[in-house]
Amino acid sequence: MNGIFWKDTLPLACVFLLGCTSVFPIIAQDRYFVLKERFSVSPVPPAPDYQQEKEWAALPWRSDAADWVPPGLKNNQDSASADVFFVHPTSYTSEPNDSFIWNAATGNQMVNVQTDKGSIRYQASVFNGSARVFAPRYRQAHFYAFLTPHPEDKRGALDTAYSDVRRAFLQYMYHWNQGRPLMIASHSQGTEHARRLVQEMIGNTAWKKQLIAAWLVGMPISKDSITTIGPCLSDTQTGCYLSWRTFLWGHEPRWKGADALTICHNPVTWKLDEAYAARSMHKGAVLTDNKVRPKICDAQVHNGYLWIHRPRFPGSRLYRNPNYHVGDYNLFYMDVRQNASGRLNRFLQTH
């Protein structure tokens, strides 16, 4: 993606209830740290060894942030018949605190805390109702990789990150999967890597028959970028992928030029058409007050992205950013959770 996309995602108001905390848990900011040293002359962190549990943000046999559920829901990982391989979004956004500039070391605690309290708790946990959660730490690219004017720096940082995600996936498949049904889920930078994983490591291999679905969220997925499986066409189809990016109703992103070629699902209806889904159909958001809030979002696909009217929750009018990128999962937390369960049930019935 080019820098314009990311600049459109950055401003995030302090909006929720009485505190100055984001309504959405995923990092976004209106200032970013500019990396002045080029990738080619910067040190690269050592590659993680995924046989070591410390290199995973979530594992099903360990207590971690992916075990969290809102009140009234249950973490079913102990009895789940499927797994999810979750690739988290960028949490490396600020000034580097060590010599590793373009890619975060997997042992960087400052970065890991942001990852765990944000995407692992509030995104990966979406899937713990029906799947065991496996989420690797990886040498994620710094946020600036999406803004740099030097494409070779961006590619170097992203390729380093993807090499980790690929090796983590192989560790999972060869040692822990044991033929179980598989979900792939990701957001933002994680979707850059998960898309490659689906294209190269799943769709072209025998593992394709284990795929329930891939939720590739928060980045544009063009129609020709995944050729080994197709987009899902219904709410129960399996062996396919889903994607969306969320904006305030009427907002036209500045980078909209390629959107006619972009796959976008409505996460209320799970269809690709532009039929309107009313708030009454919405199963529920989960924001940072940790409550399930049903019927606060409507949704309609428009020109390759998702439009919603302003969600209804206390303080929602104070959120002024028309880009809801940081809430792509959380605004539809229960919709995705129930959809994962439904696709798993269909998979088990047909395999």
Residue 31: predicted pLDDT: 57
pLDDT tens for 177-236 read 999 999 999 999 999 999 999 999 998 899 999 999 999 999 999 989 999 999 999 999
Which carries the bigger pLDDT value, residue 24 or residue 77?
77
Res 18 pLDDT > 50: no
What is the C-alpha to C-alpha distance for residues 303 and 43, in angstroms, rounded to an integer? 41
Res 16 pLDDT > 70: no
| Whole-prediction pTM | 0.93
What is the C-alpha to C-alpha distance for residues 35 and 227, in angstroms, rounded to an integer? 35
- At 25, the pLDDT band (50, 70, 90 cuts) reads confident
Which carries the bigger pLDDT value, residue 77 or residue 20?
77
- At 11, the pLDDT band (50, 70, 90 cuts) reads very low
E strands in 196-251:
211-217, 221-222, 240-242, 246-248
Helix (H, G, I), strand (E, B) or coil at 311: coil
What is the C-alpha to C-alpha distance for residues 217 and 186, in angstroms, rounded to an integer? 6
Looking at the DSSP bridge assignments, the partners of residue 242 are: 215
CB within 8 A of 165, min separation 6: which ones?
Answer: 87, 136, 138, 193, 194, 197
CA distances from 156 to 29, 38, 102, 313 (A): 24, 10, 9, 41
Residue 317: predicted pLDDT: 82
Residue 258: predicted pLDDT: 56
How does the average pLDDT of the chain come out, rounded?
91
- At 85, the pLDDT band (50, 70, 90 cuts) reads very high
CB within 8 A of 349, min separation 6: which ones?
Answer: none
Res 294 pLDDT > 80: yes
Residue pair 142/104 in contact by the 8 Å Cβ criterion = yes
In which residue are the tokens 């179980």 written?
A: 180
Q: How many CB atoms lie within 10 A of CB 72?
A: 7
Residue 21: predicted pLDDT: 36
Res 314 pLDDT > 70: yes
What is the C-alpha to C-alpha distance for residues 198 and 219, in angstroms, rounded to an integer? 15
**Strands 56-58 and 182-187: what pairing?**
unpaired
pLDDT tens for 228-273 read 999 999 999 999 999 999 999 999 887 655 566 899 999 999 999 9
* Residue (of 40, 42, 63) closest to 53 by Cα position: 63
Q: Could you tell me the residue ranges of all domains in the chain?
A: 3-350
Helix (H, G, I), strand (E, B) or coil at 151: helix
- At 12, the pLDDT band (50, 70, 90 cuts) reads very low
Q: Which of 10-24, 27-41, 167-181 has the highest mean pLDDT?
A: 167-181
Residue 260: predicted pLDDT: 65
Q: What average pLDDT does the segment 173-180 reach?
A: 98
What is the C-alpha to C-alpha distance for residues 281 and 294, in angstroms, rounded to an integer? 9
